[in-house]
Structure 1
Amino acid sequence: MDVSFAVWVATVIGLCALIAVDFFVGGRKPHEVSIKEAGIWTTVWIVLAALFGLGLLVFGGGQPSGEFFAGFVTEKSLSVDNLFVFVLIMAKFAVPTIYQQRVLLIGVLIALVLRAGFIAAGAAIVSTFSWVFFIFGGFLIWTAWKLIQEARAEDEEEAYEENRFLKMIERRVPSTDQYHGTKLFIREHGQRLMTPMLIVMLAIGTTDVLFALDSIPAIFGLTQDPYIVFTANAFALMGLRQLYFLIGGLLKKLVHLSYGLSVILGFIGVKLVLHALHEAGVHVPVISIPVSLGVICAVLLVTTATSLYAARKQEPETDGEHTGGKPSGGASEDADAKR
């Protein structure tokens, strides 16, 4: 799709305006986010993404619109996996509940800016070297296999480990281990100190870049249009803060999510390899966008259904473990009476 510079500028300004509204309406004052508030804002962002996709349908045609929806659904599903790590980060830094929404807002903005750089670099590479699709495809297939291995591993205690960038900052910048509201820096005894608030924001933003290593190649497997890649990522990320509070309690129930994501990444990896072979002149079948969107949605629906079924099936077993097979209170009282 041929997008002019003016459209790019208008899009970026529009997204910035939406982010500003989100901040001043829902994120300016620190508070605990209720399920109702999170649900309303999650719905708002999904509706905005749907309207944008319909706008592409009207002004760009069916293909750009289909590519956007396929990309958005893929990025949204991959971002749900990010939430598991976000939970670990919040626990690691003991972020007070009333400040978590501010941390996520700034962290997601950092991630969006960094992803824009990834997308620009990826678009330049894709437009210049068609063989890069072999690398992207192989990487996604390898990532899918790694996800399956991790999903099949026995339950292990997960812990968040700071990346080298964060460790370098903490070594070189004086910091305090106490939160001071939403302040990023404070002055104490004449010394300027960095607060945990800034550190955890950087942790959220930079950790998301690691997830971008598989999500960016994945969306380039669905479309090579940088405009669609950027907007799909933007809409998927901007609703991530509210999604964190909405499904935070359900994350542990999505026990098969890793399997579903591995299938999606593997499918897109195969699609990329087929596309690369087609570009090289080899006669191979090419997977269309409608087929891709259908497969992605079907995998997510099946994964969610089987996850909830498995979680519900485990609940009675868990309850039984808690009781330990001991007699109920009534039985115990009868036994005491007989004595």
Structure 2
Amino acid sequence: MTLWVLTILGLVALIAVDFLIGRKPHDVSIKEAGIWTVVWIVLAVLFGVGLLVFGTAQASGEFFAGFITEKSLSVDNLFVFVLIMAKFSVPSHLQQRVLLIGVLIALVLRAIFIAAGAAVIANFSWIFYIFGAFLIYTAWKLIQEARADEEEEAFEENRLLKSIENRFGVADRYHGTKLFIRNNGKRVLTPLMVVMLAIGTTDVLFALDSIPAIFGLTQDPYIVFTANAFALMGLRQLYFLIGGLLKKLVHLSYGLSVILGFIGVKLVLHALHESGVHVPEISIPFSLTVICGVLIITTITSLIANKKTEQRAQAAQAAAQDEPAASDDAKESVES
């Protein structure tokens, strides 16, 4: 309990510092986003090393495997965050405030999910079969969507968000950083509050696969929570740092599907082992190697694919420019 309290107090202190530094709405520069991204990654590494020094090598390995998995899965969230920002036409100087509060809402909701998942796992070991099957199914769906090459063009509000809007009403424009205003004597939400709720509640959908995934790497609720916390708290800076590069990660869905499928198989094997069936279990070092290897390979292949696409586009553009010149030469020849 002491460890939990100290960890939560430390996390709250870091969030407070982050909030105070960025309390004034402003456009986040690449330099600022890069510095804070490095800060959160360094903090995560230090925490993992702390687990190694004051805990065990297994706990440290589980944390790093969970952190990298959650971080890679959270990158997929950024695609939806971009759509949400576009849907609500969020002014650029308010986006960092939206992401900060939205991510905090997501962290609280994930903590509830983690507590529920830990309670279920402690009492029903067969839940690993369900988690494993769900992750394998999710991996297959990701591959199907990637092969179909269908991109969502607009963000659709969930039922909870729509009910909140209908219950309280929404102002017709942004009012700085205000979350509520008085409109004709009635207290209504501002669009800023709505988009914060959209970011936070939409993340719950991603938690449906990320939480079972990390429970496939560790059953320690403390490690599950801290890995999620560090992955989510660096997500805001990552949004501004690689927002323009997201479309270039064309093979990310394939990589995530392989990772989820791998962890799904690991969960099923663990469930069989718990049931008394003699099957090999996948170790944390091997899991960490597979996860990192898949992410590195998909990043490299994405960059290669983008380079080839750009080269084809440049060749097509050059050919299009040559056609009018050739037709002009032919016309001059005919006139002569």
Q: Which moved more, 1:189-198 or 1:37-46?
A: 189-198
Q: Distance in 2 between matches of 1:155 and 1:238?
A: 29
User: Given the two structures, how large is their TM-score scaled by the length of structure 1?
Assistant: 0.95
- Which residue is equivalent to 2:143? 148
Q: Distance in 1 between matches of 2:253 and 2:149?
A: 14
Q: Distance in 1 between matches of 2:313 and 2:178?
A: 42
Q: Distance in 2 between matches of 1:324 and 1:88?
A: 34
Q: Which moved more, 1:74-83 or 1:180-189?
A: 180-189
Superposed CA offset, 1:275-331 (max 9, x none) = 000000000000000000000000000000000110111012223444562328977
Q: Distance in 2 between matches of 1:10 and 1:196?
A: 36
* 1:165 and 2:164 matched: no
Q: Distance in 2 between matches of 1:261 and 1:7?
A: 32
Contact preservation (8 Å) 2:168, 2:187: no
The answer for unaligned runs of 5 or more in structure 2 is none
Correspondent of 1:61 among 56, 60, 64: 56
* 1:231 and 2:242 matched: no
* 1:70 and 2:65 matched: yes
Contact preservation (8 Å) 2:171, 2:183: no
Q: Distance in 2 between matches of 1:66 and 1:54?
A: 9
Q: Distance in 2 between matches of 1:333 and 1:121?
A: 72
Q: Distance in 1 between matches of 2:270 and 2:75?
A: 27
Identical pairs, percent: 76
Task: State the shift of 1:177 in Å.
Answer: 2.3
Change (3 A) 1:161 1:291: same
Correspondent of 2:132 among 134, 137, 141: 137
Q: Distance in 2 between matches of 1:87 and 1:189?
A: 33
Q: Distance in 1 between matches of 2:137 and 2:276?
A: 25
* 1:92 and 2:87 matched: yes
Any idea what SS the aligned residue of 1:178 has?
Answer: coil
- Which residue is equivalent to 2:268? 273
Correspondent of 1:115 among 110, 113, 126: 110
Q: Distance in 2 between matches of 1:115 and 1:162?
A: 20
Aligned positions of 1:316-327 closer than 5 A: 316-322=311-317, 325-327=320-322
Q: Distance in 2 between matches of 1:16 and 1:175?
A: 30
* 1:292 and 2:251 matched: no
Any idea what SS the aligned residue of 1:197 has?
Answer: helix
Contact preservation (8 Å) 2:180, 2:190: yes
Q: Distance in 1 between matches of 2:159 and 2:75?
A: 24
- Which residue is equivalent to 1:22? 18
Matched residue type, 1:51? L
Correspondent of 2:34 among 35, 39, 52: 39
Q: Distance in 1 between matches of 2:64 and 2:54?
A: 15
* 1:306 and 2:321 matched: no
- Which residue is equivalent to 1:246? 241
* 1:212 and 2:207 matched: yes
Task: State the shift of 1:334 in Å.
Answer: 6.8
Contact preservation (8 Å) 2:25, 2:93: yes
Correspondent of 1:6 among 2, 5, 14: 2
Change (3 A) 1:98 1:267: same
Matched residue type, 1:10? L
RMSD: 1.6
Q: Distance in 2 between matches of 1:258 and 1:277?
A: 28
- Which residue is equivalent to 2:186? 191
Task: State the shift of 1:333 in Å.
Answer: 8.1
Q: Distance in 1 between matches of 2:15 and 2:323?
A: 55
Q: Distance in 1 between matches of 2:69 and 2:164?
A: 33
Change (3 A) 1:187 1:327: same
Task: State the shift of 1:189 in Å.
Answer: 2.9
Change (3 A) 1:157 1:212: closer
Q: Distance in 2 between matches of 1:322 and 1:93?
A: 35
Matched residue type, 1:171? N
User: Given the two structures, how large is their TM-score scaled by the length of structure 2?
Assistant: 0.96
Any idea what SS the aligned residue of 1:205 has?
Answer: helix
